[in-house]
Structure 1
Amino acid sequence: MDRRPTIYDVALEAGVAASTVSRAYARPGRVNAETAQKIFEAAERLGYRTGRGGGQRPGDRIAQESIALVIADVTNPFYGEIIKGGYEAAREAGYQLILSHTNESPEVERQTIERELEQVDGIVIASSRMTDSSLRMVIKQKPVVLLNRIIPEASCVVNDIDRGIRRAAEHLGSLGHERIFYVAGPETSWSDGMRWRALREAAAELELEVRRIGPNEPTVLAGLSAARRVAQAGATAVLAYNDAVAIGVMKGLRKLGVAVPDEVSVVGFDNIIFDELVEPALTTIASPLYRMGFTGVQNCIAVAQGARSRGAPLVLPVRLVIRQSTGQCRRKRTSPARGTTSVSGSASKAATSIVPGSR
């Protein structure tokens, strides 16, 4: 054949599943001798060689094939299900998954990826903080799949942000809330920009007003800090960048003597494991995080084995999970200043922006 044979070619030639071929090389003890021999003979006929060395012969385990999963913060519960899904996809294919943590830093992320380029067969990057141009440089060198990020040159897996934000805005509007405060995420977050845009568009259609407090780190502590600004502004409804921020906002409001949901309704994003454990239980936009991790690693393995790397982004469905942190608006808001204002700020002194709707 004109191209380099892939694991799928070997599987077809040997009459077995691609995952069985991977196991025959990565975990020989898990494939019976007769099947393994059939696989190795098929690989020999096709000229298939495994791993990064290119000259490795079937049955010689110089190094197990591996995929890197790069995440922004290993302590963020959001990534737990993504990691679980990624590990399962790698295990099924007989690959090793190498986990890297970048501490929400674009520079650390770049350095981490540079170190891993020669050590892995592909890279899955979750919620990248790097610029598009930096990511394009990586894509030129190695199969890459992006989670929670879209650039045309890469295979991408994202949530249906527009639908999720729209459902949250509709829910809050139906409860009588006329203004929604968006407690934003990191300035370098692609998802944050998309969520803020989606909220502005939904608010315009629903004749609601929105205000933005941010940027903030995607943490409980950042939400705790933002709670005072939420209370001072007389907010009745909050949509947070993620569940960690939302939980922090609720905790901060409680410390200030502001009741959730009696005085302020709070909605998060992601549906992490702690949402049902906090008091009150958090209303949130549920993301299929396990599926995102599984699909991302699965697609990266496919690209590493010769599949086409680009195409339309895979958009995963989301749903609104209504719990006890949202309720009927019991008071009228104070009319905001008209127009749009912004104040530069950081995680500790975040900016507040006002965007008028059509009221």
Structure 2
Amino acid sequence: MAPTLTEVAQRAGVSLSTASRAFSEPDRIAQDTLDRVVRAAAEIGYVASSPRRQRSGARPTRATTVAMVVPDLANPVIASFVKAAQAHGWYRRQILVLTDADNSPDREREILGELHGRVDGFIACSPRLPAHDIVELCGDAPLVLVNRDSDEVPSVLADAEHGLSQAVEYLRVLGHERIAYVQGNRLSWSNEHRVAAVRRLAQENDVDLEVLGWHAETIAGGNAAAASVVATGATAVIAHNDLVAMGIIEGAAQLGLAVPDDLSVVGIDDTTMAQVAKPQLTSIQVPMSRAGVISVDLLHGLLAAEPADAEAPRTVHLPTQLVVRQSTAPASGWNPREARR
């Protein structure tokens, strides 16, 4: 295996970002530090690979290589993001190298470090590492973040607040005075953002809210959360994603509860699985396919621009929408006349 920039940094006793600047912007670091990095690179046989750029608007003469890091390719919403990004990347002459970090920040760190200097740019989707750490690891390579906000690099954020607002108001109108929210991964930007939004929305709609702990973002995670949901006395629950929601439906059935008669369930993502679930799942539509296309376009702009042409990092917010299906119904004793007041 070829020597990596991470190994150069370790041998020279400097940070990864400093080692990166030694090859991309040597005038920005002290001469003795530069000498150490260059000497370390020579000792282990590291050959720097600088990002290949062109002037804005020029057509690439060859394809660029882009590393795409995702947290869990088994998640259908991540798969839809990847599929859209790969299709659009082909149009943009980008070859995507896909890596699955298995929801591990340590694995993300290792992947980014190993691929630095071997690819032209990075797209990190729903990463578990903090944004600044990712920026440091990518060094001078163009980077776009998805579902992780940053003031250092462009980002694409699927803002679930729009759909959550619709969901909370919808459940309130159906007579649900107490709802539960099942969290996803504790390192997820989306989870943090959604919990903060649903807390505020519940207060604004005069709805009692019970926020449950972190769970695996899988059907098994939702199944494990079902008993806790029932124990809250909530008549409705919003889950971090569709997989968790379907797990809650399965777990509720094992406890003798019917959905939606005894418990209304709302998911987030509106995957194809929501449409074929039994009952069909009410879900908040999150445009992750659109996020895949936009992230490729943003990275294309970074790759095509000269450093002097770089603009301030751009953040793209994508709205979400509630899609009502069979897994939600009025609470017991619901009076439509009271709901209209």
TM-score between both structures, scaled by the size of structure 1: 0.75
- 1:193 matched residue in structure 2: 192
- 2:190 is aligned with 1:142: no
CA contact (8 A) 2:116 2:138 kept: no
Q: Deviation at 1:9?
A: 4.5
- 2:310 is aligned with 1:308: yes
Q: How does 1:32-51 map to 2 (within 5 A)?
A: none
Q: 1:263 to 1:163 in 2, by over 3 A?
A: same
1:80-119 CA distances to partner (integer Å, 9 max, x unpaired)? 1101111122100112111110000000011011111112
Task: Give SS of 2:56's match.
Answer: helix
- 2:212 matched residue in structure 1: 213
1:216-238 CA distances to partner (integer Å, 9 max, x unpaired)? 11111000000011122222110
Letter in 2 for 1:254: A
Q: 1:267 to 1:9 in 2, by over 3 A?
A: closer
CA contact (8 A) 2:53 2:303 kept: no
Q: What's the RMSD between the two structures over aligned residues?
A: 1.7
Q: 1:309 to 1:240 in 2, by over 3 A?
A: farther
- 2:253 matched residue in structure 1: 254
- 2:64 is aligned with 1:65: yes
CA distance in 2, matches of 1:142, 1:309: 15
Q: Which moved more, 1:124-133 or 1:265-274?
A: 124-133
CA distance in 1, matches of 2:53, 2:90: 22
Where in structure 1 are there 5+ consecutive unaligned residues? 11-20, 27-63, 333-359
Letter in 1 for 2:321: R
Q: Which has the higher helix share?
A: 2
- 1:170 matched residue in structure 2: 169
- 1:227 matched residue in structure 2: 226
Aligned residues: 280
- 1:319 matched residue in structure 2: 321
Q: Deviation at 1:144?
A: 0.9
1:208-267 CA distances to partner (integer Å, 9 max, x unpaired)? 111111111111100000001112222211000111111111111112111101010000
CA distance in 2, matches of 1:71, 1:250: 27
Task: Give SS of 1:8's match.
Answer: coil
- 2:54 matched residue in structure 1: 6
CA distance in 2, matches of 1:123, 1:162: 27
Q: 1:65 to 1:222 in 2, by over 3 A?
A: same
Q: 1:299 to 1:192 in 2, by over 3 A?
A: same
Task: Give SS of 1:96's match.
Answer: strand
Q: Which moved more, 1:307-316 or 1:148-157?
A: 307-316
1:307-337 CA distances to partner (integer Å, 9 max, x unpaired)? 63643410112111000000000169xxxxx
CA contact (8 A) 1:303 1:309 kept: no
Moved over 2 A (4+): 7-10, 138-141, 307-312
Letter in 2 for 1:236: T
- 2:11 matched residue in structure 1: none
CA distance in 2, matches of 1:205, 1:229: 25
CA contact (8 A) 2:122 2:138 kept: no
Where in structure 2 are there 5+ consecutive unaligned residues? 1-51, 335-341
CA distance in 2, matches of 1:130, 1:79: 17
CA contact (8 A) 1:139 1:154 kept: no
The percent of aligned pairs where both chains have the same amino acid is 33
